[in-house]
Structure 1
């Protein structure tokens, strides 16, 4: 089941993030680097709500399996954009969660009159790149040596999807 996050999900969401940090090397945080403060998660959920951004979670077997966040641009010149982050626990990948996330993201983006969705992805993360391309994202550029993982520089692609144009008013 995929739905917008609620404050009551804070502990389960944090636990999923901490698990994701240990299970994959394709996300921002290293194991034990993420703050473990549930209050910070509650504040983040509140901030997403106040800024009309989007934070979805997927749950299976009463467990949070992944998330998609879309943070809307807060300044006038970038209000038509959102920056996307997706994380799905490895044991739940390949089950259609990512596709469902992107279907809901598109509905939300159209409703909010967004015209640009953007994200970054490590160049070797072929599964994620395939998911993003399947959902209309295109590679726009390369961020060379943008991360260090296990002592090695990692490049990232900058990807974006342009949606139907809406009036800027």
Structure 2
């Protein structure tokens, strides 16, 4: 567990536990409705409290999986998950996903939770952390680059957004 204070707002980042499942289901649903930068529109690929509980318990058993939450006053305001493969040829690599409730943007929660994941990847002796981001999510792209991620590829016209246009998805990675 790590404590942070940004703009006079205190928060912690810690590993997820099964009792977080109910809040995580609500937070994920809310985030999906706050931005188009996620893979889903609100209500798609819904994860229930039970789904999150199973996911957290499973992640706790796998050495190349990590599930972190950011919490303010015992309320989850963001989360990060790293998922690795169980295949020998790919188990050195994890894919990262991160999300923060819009009301808490600007508190560097994303930066701190990703840094914690990078520290974990180093101690776990992983080789690569990757992620996907829509090209027009400029703030996120700049953050990832600041944290050492580099572009490895681009999925052309990968996301259809509400403006009716197709956007590329950037494939970014950080080597440990």
Same fold (TM over 0.5): yes
Partner of 2:124: 112
Residue among 137, 159, 165 paired with 2:172: 159
Q: Distance in 1 between matches of 2:47 and 2:85?
A: 27
TM-score relative to the length of structure 1: 0.91
Q: Distance in 2 between matches of 1:134 and 1:68?
A: 18
Bigger mean CA offset, 49-58 vs 33-42: 33-42
Q: Distance in 2 between matches of 1:99 and 1:15?
A: 22
Is this contact kept in 1: 2:29–2:46, CA < 8 A?
A: no
Is this contact kept in 2: 1:58–1:97, CA < 8 A?
A: yes
Partner of 1:11: 22
Report the secondary structure of 2:89's partner residue.
helix
Residue among 34, 37, 55 paired with 1:23: 34
Q: What RMSD, in angstroms, separates the aligned Cα atoms of the two structures?
A: 1.2
Bigger mean CA offset, 21-30 vs 95-104: 95-104
Structure 1 regions of 5+ residues with no counterpart? Answer: 164-169
Q: Distance in 1 between matches of 2:100 and 2:46?
A: 19
Is this contact kept in 1: 2:66–2:82, CA < 8 A?
A: yes
Report the secondary structure of 1:107's partner residue.
helix
Partner of 2:95: 83
Report 1:135-150 matches (<5 A).
135-150=147-162
Superposed displacement of residue 36, structure 1 = 4.8
Change (3 A) 1:78 1:38: same
Change (3 A) 1:36 1:105: closer
Is this contact kept in 1: 2:82–2:95, CA < 8 A?
A: yes
Q: Distance in 2 between matches of 1:50 and 1:98?
A: 25
Structure 2 regions of 5+ residues with no counterpart? Answer: 1-11
Q: Distance in 2 between matches of 1:36 and 1:47?
A: 15
Which structure 1 residue ranges, 4+ long, deviate > 3 Å from structure 2? none
Aligned length: 163
Deviations 1:65-87 (A, max 9, x none): 11111112221011110000011
Report the secondary structure of 2:98's partner residue.
strand
TM-score relative to the length of structure 2: 0.88
Superposed displacement of residue 157, structure 1 = 0.6
Partner of 2:72: 60
Bigger mean CA offset, 102-111 vs 5-14: 102-111
